[in-house]
Amino acid sequence: MTQEMTGYDRRMLALMNRSEGASMYATATRRRVAVCAHIALTAASVTTWLLTVVADQRWAMWTMLGLLLPWCLATGVINASTRGLFELRERALDERQRAERFRVAARARQIMLWLLLAAAAGAGIAAQQGWSTHGLLFPALFTAFVVHWLMPLWVAGLAVQDEPADLDFDSEAVHAADK
Amino acid sequence: MVRAERKVSRQSLAEAVGVHYQTIGYIERGQYNPSLDLALKIAGFFGLPVEALFSLRPFRPLTDEVYGRSQG
């Protein structure tokens, strides 16, 4: 935390370090469930949004709006588990968190590289076979944008480690600081 | 561990040296090597030389230090 933080940074830092929902991401299994749920909700949201925009399906819009709240909740759980690794500005993170963010971003970039390669290969095969992919350009690009945007969050959520129990006086101090 | 011996919480040490309290845990578990700047700040907080807190080799258990037993 080297640079001067703004009021917004301090509010976000406090928000990302609240401990009310800690039980929702206390174990690796719960974090995996949260990330899987977030991926499923994102896939459903993207599908319904594309159906709304491209196919003009009215029911899809209402479904998408219904998915918004659980999606926001799942996002909040992942952000809380990472203590805002990708939500906070760099100046609100310390040196270990900045190193962690860099490592997670590099891993996410590597995964995206393989996904885009697979998509490009799929498009190439489809063209070779003479299949029409004309209508898939916008949905594919939009999906790639969303996955590129959220991949660091998913990787960060899966990379979080369990917080070990510490000495009694320590946990008391932490809870007191949170209040 | 010096922090436990001095009854200093992770939170208060973290606030004193300007890092997140989890970072103190990462350093204590050997999962993160602090920068020289941070190592000096932690050493300064305890009023000890940096080599009393950080070493490339694992520290000997306190009982060995006190009773002078050699490492096996």
What confidence tens digit (pLDDT) does each residue in A48-95 have? 999 999 888 889 999 999 999 999 999 999 999 999 999 999 999 999
Q: Do B19 and A1 touch (CB under 8 A)?
A: yes
| Residue A148: how many other CB atoms lie within 10 Å | 14
The number of domains in chain B is 1
- Which residue, A46, A45, A24, A50, is CA-closest to A35? A24
**pTM score, whole prediction:** 0.82
Q: Which residues of chain B lie closer than 8 angstroms to A93, CB-CB? A: 20
- What is the average per-residue pLDDT within A129-137? 86
Domain assignment of residue B46, given as a range: 2-67
- Contact between B10 and B21 under an 8 Å Cβ cutoff? The reply is yes
Rounded to 10 degrees, the C-alpha dihedral A15/A21/A24/A27 comes to: 80
Band of the pLDDT at B72, cuts 50, 70, 90? very low
Q: Do B38 and A95 touch (CB under 8 A)?
A: yes
Separation of alpha carbons B11 and A177, rounded Å: 8
Structure tokens at A175: 């809870």
Q: Do A94 and B20 touch (CB under 8 A)?
A: yes
- What is the average per-residue pLDDT within A119-132? 91
Count the alpha carbons within 13 Å of A156 in the hemisphere toward its beta carbon: 27
First to last CA, chain A: 22
Among A13, A82, A83, A95, the residue to mutate for chain B (most B Cβ within 10 A) = A95
Q: Which residues of chain A lie closer than 8 angstroms to B34, CB-CB? A: 95-96
Q: Which residues of chain B lie closer than 8 angstroms to A18, CB-CB? A: none
Band of the pLDDT at B58, cuts 50, 70, 90? confident
Q: What is the pLDDT of residue A143?
A: 96
Has residue B72 been placed in a domain? no
Choose the closest CB to A94 out of B11, B19, B31. B19
Distance from CA of B67 to the nearest CA of A (A): 26
In the predicted model, what is the mean pLDDT of chain A?
A: 89
Separation of alpha carbons B19 and B36, rounded Å: 14
Q: Do A166 and B10 touch (CB under 8 A)?
A: yes
Separation of alpha carbons A24 and A69, rounded Å: 17
What is the per-residue pLDDT across A38-49, written as a single tens digit (0 to 9) for each?
A: 999 999 999 999
Choose the closest CB to B25 out of A1, A95, A164. A164
Asked if the ipTM is above 0.90, the reply is no
Separation of alpha carbons B34 and B42, rounded Å: 10
CATH number of the domain residue B31 falls in: 1.10.260.40
- What is the average per-residue pLDDT within A95-103? 96
